[in-house]
Amino acid sequence: MFKKALSASLALVLVFSMATFSFSGGGKKAKVKTISGTLVDLKCYAAMGVKTNDHGDMKNCGSMCAQGGLPLGIVDAKGNVYNLAVPSPAYAKYVGKELRLTGTYGKFANLFMPKEMEVKENGKWVKKKLPKTMM
């Protein structure tokens, strides 16, 4: 009787351990990656391909879109677009600038979550403090 109870308990522990392992992404840590390119507001980029902060006659349009909460992304030299999981208003002053971000991709969504940021100033990469996020 004791052996059956012990076997059943061990089986339950094994099942719950496997379930926890599966739901936690298989125990794999997110791979750190560095991306670089132009920070864009994704609405204007998607609609018009604009990668600058000024959009035609509209000065600082990209920054205003970011301050309004529209999503931001990085467009690299090959035209790849990286959606960013960041508070857009906090990054508004960087729209149209070259950024280099180091971070990870989300496990459940194709979003890049930066942990470090550099901005190209006068041809050199300058490390900047990341704006605050909720996580």
Mean pLDDT score of the chain: 83
pTM: 0.76
| pLDDT one-digit tens code per residue, 32-61 | 999 999 999 999 999 999 999 998 889 999
Cβ pair 46, 71 in contact under 8 A: no
pLDDT at 1 over 60: no
> The domain 30-128 is classified under which CATH number: 2.40.50, 1.10.150, 2.60.120, 2.60.40?
2.40.50
Q: Both tokens of residue 52? A: 């600058």
DSSP 31: P
pLDDT of residue 18 exceeding 80, the answer is no
Residue 78 burial (10 A CB sphere; 0-12, 13-18, 19+): exposed
Cα distance between residue 86 and residue 132, in whole Å: 9
**Alpha-helix runs per DSSP H in the chain:** 2-23, 42-48, 61-67, 88-91
* In the chain, domain spans: 30-128
Residues 6+ apart with CB under 8 A from 115: 32, 102, 103, 104, 130
